[in-house]
Amino acid sequence: MTMHYPLLVPSILNRARTAFPSKEIITRLEGAEGGVHRYTYREMAARVNRLCNALNFLGVKQGDRVGTFAWNTYRHLEAYFASPVMGAVNHTINIRLFPDDLVYIVNHAQDKVIFVDPDLCPILEALAPRLESVEHYVILTDDPEPATTLPNAVSYESLLAQASDQFTPPEMDEWDPAGLCYTSATTGRPKGVTYSHRALYLHSMAECMADTAAFSERDTTMAVVPMFHANCWGFPYSSALVGASQVMPGVRPDPQAICELIDRHRVTVTAGVPTIWVGVLDYLERSGQSYDFSSLRAVISGGSAVPVSVIRAYKERLGVDLVHAYGMTEATPIVTYNRVKTHLEDLPEDEKYELAGSQGMVVAGLEMRLVDDEGNDLPWDGEQRGELLFRGPWISREYYNDERTAETYIDGWYHSGDIASVDPDGYVQIGDRVKDMVKSGGEWISSVDLETAIIAHPDVLEAAVIAIPHPTWVERPLACVVPREGARESLDKAQVMDFIRDRFARWWLPDDVVFIEEIPKTSVGKFDKKVLRERYQDYVVGG
């Protein structure tokens, strides 16, 4: 027996069960009474015990990977807990990846069991012959004989019904792996990141701190971010740790479902990528529906930069605080969170919105550096731009069984590939990912800065700026713009250019503006600039 107290996921579950037994988990479920499934942490914990026994029964051993291929539901939440509680690793698989990436991930992780939602079975059925390590597919249903051609398929509820609700976790070390998540890697194969029990535990505590997301028993949290995207931004574990109620948006949530859930269940904190929040705003304007959002204290936006104009629209039209946060799969994922420091509270309104548009401050517990190309530290003066590096208790130390570790984890620091400036108060302003910057005549142009300016135009719904090849300057920016519904015919290039002209040096301005129906999105809803770059690689300005 060690003298040290290990930080383990089972303690998080134990706290939810013993201290908050009657707090609820509510899952949107079409056809159910009131459109939802609801139960308590007490009931959840008992079912997690059953699931731990069931995983043992299926032959899962300590350290084995157990995959999930599922929407945000209470059953997925049970898997989030059961795997680490019984000593296995919860591997959340992105349901929107290309088939070849899915095959790569499952084989690379060597998943032994995969939990699958019934409507997602067809995707895996087509790939099953290539998934070498999987011994059982557990279908997340109460149907005792699920209709699927997946080999060795078992019904989740039948499995649970046979298992005891008494379970004692095995002895574990806090450094043991508890979670595994792959980045959606816009170039090359996805990279896996394991989360230790210790990292998940400390990340949960950090997320609940007053100057981070401040989760508490008084909250009802709702992760719109999928449970397979970067550890669901910590929501499942952090909420359970403090006994916050959880709302799970279920299968294919659309903006209407999101609005209804917030209204009906008095959600206080929710989170998702900017695409979600732009979609919700657009839905509200187009449908003319109104909802009661008075319960919301924070709508967390992360995953890519959220334009100040969107933050402003949420505040002015809905009375809601859109809070900017930043992180990555490699960091469990939170690294910065935006809170206004007391001495900045009286800033003029415009400056306050600008500040809200920054990614915020590095959260307590982590260390951050800003470095130039040669790795020299740059001053935090709000001007100089460099790459952000991080280290700390929930920053991963490597990619899972991957030679690419050496490119990213150097001398104990995680190299984010994000180019930013940091102001004297410590607020981070991300310019771009290195690979999204436009390098014109040897000078960098930030695509994000241009996009943010263009999106502020009232007739613009979305905008992405990409590099196109240029004979003299090597690369020049091209703006790809999606007009709002009523402005498809009227919005033209001159209007867009005039709108941003005064805000940038002349050589920063896009060479051209193309109007498109929609910005292609990645599997987690970020702008897919790789697709746009391919589409416009032969683009001739004015041609």
Report the catalytic residues.
183, 330, 439, 444
Q: How would you class 38 by CB atoms within 10 Å of its CB: exposed for 0-12, middle for 13-18, buried for 19 or more?
A: middle
Please state, as a whole number, how many other Cβ atoms lie within 10 Å of the Cβ of residue 184.
Answer: 21
Q: Which pair of structure tokens corresponds to residue 489?
A: 């015919």
Q: Which residue from 305, 419, 422, 463 is in contact with ligand ADP, where contact means CB under 6 A? A: 305
Q: Which residue from 326, 390, 394, 427 is in contact with ligand ADP, where contact means CB under 6 A? A: 326
CB 165, CB 188: distance < 8 Å: no
Q: Which is nearer to ligand ADP, 245 or 329 (CB)?
A: 329
Rounded Cα distance between 323 and 147, Å, is 43
CB 295, CB 268: distance < 8 Å: yes
Tell me the sheet residues that pair with 521: 527
Q: Which residue from 60, 280, 355, 430 is in contact with ligand ADP, where contact means CB under 6 A? A: 430
Q: Which residue from 304, 358, 421, 452 is in contact with ligand ADP, where contact means CB under 6 A? A: 304
Listed ranges 167-175, 262-270, 278-286, 326-334: which one lies at the site for ligand ADP (CB under 6 A): 326-334
Listed ranges 8-16, 83-91, 177-185, 468-476: which one lies at the site for ligand ADP (CB under 6 A): 177-185
**What's the longest Cα–Cα distance across the chain?**
74
- Alpha-helical runs (H) found in 291-428: 308-313, 349-357, 405-408
Is residue 277 involved in binding ligand ADP (CB under 6 A)? no
Rounded Cα distance between 122 and 106, Å, is 16
Q: What are phi and psi of 287, to 5 degrees?
A: -85, -25
Listed ranges 67-75, 195-203, 328-336, 497-505: which one lies at the site for ligand ADP (CB under 6 A): 328-336
- Alpha-helical runs (H) found in 110-254: 121-127, 156-162, 197-208, 235-242
Closest approach of ligand ADP to the CB of residue 432, in Å: 8
Closest approach of ligand ADP to the CB of residue 197, in Å: 21
Listed ranges 143-151, 183-191, 346-354, 365-373: which one lies at the site for ligand ADP (CB under 6 A): 183-191
Q: Which is nearer to ligand ADP, 302 or 386 (CB)?
A: 302
End-to-end CA distance of the chain: 74
Q: Which residue from 75, 265, 324, 415 is in contact with ligand ADP, where contact means CB under 6 A? A: 324
Q: Which residue from 49, 141, 184, 275 is in contact with ligand ADP, where contact means CB under 6 A? A: 184
CB 331, CB 231: distance < 8 Å: no
Closest approach of ligand ADP to the CB of residue 338, in Å: 9
Closest approach of ligand ADP to the CB of residue 325, in Å: 6
Binding mask 331-360 for ligand ADP (x = CB under 6 A): --x-------------------------x-
Give the pairing type, strands 111-116 and 65-69.
parallel
Q: Where is 77: in which H helix or E strand? A: helix 74-85
Rounded Cα distance between 243 and 217, Å, is 5
Q: Which is nearer to ligand ADP, 139 or 419 (CB)?
A: 419
153: left (phi over 0), alpha (psi -120 to 50) or beta: beta
Closest approach of ligand ADP to the CB of residue 416, in Å: 5
Tell me the sheet residues that pair with 230: none
DSSP state of 315: I
Q: Which residue from 194, 212, 416, 452 is in contact with ligand ADP, where contact means CB under 6 A? A: 416
Closest approach of ligand ADP to the CB of residue 531, in Å: 14
Is residue 415 involved in binding ligand ADP (CB under 6 A)? no
Q: Which residue from 183, 396, 440, 452 is in contact with ligand ADP, where contact means CB under 6 A? A: 183
- Which residues are at the interface with ligand ADP (CB under 6 A)? 183-185, 230, 302-305, 324, 326-329, 333, 359, 416, 418, 430, 433, 526
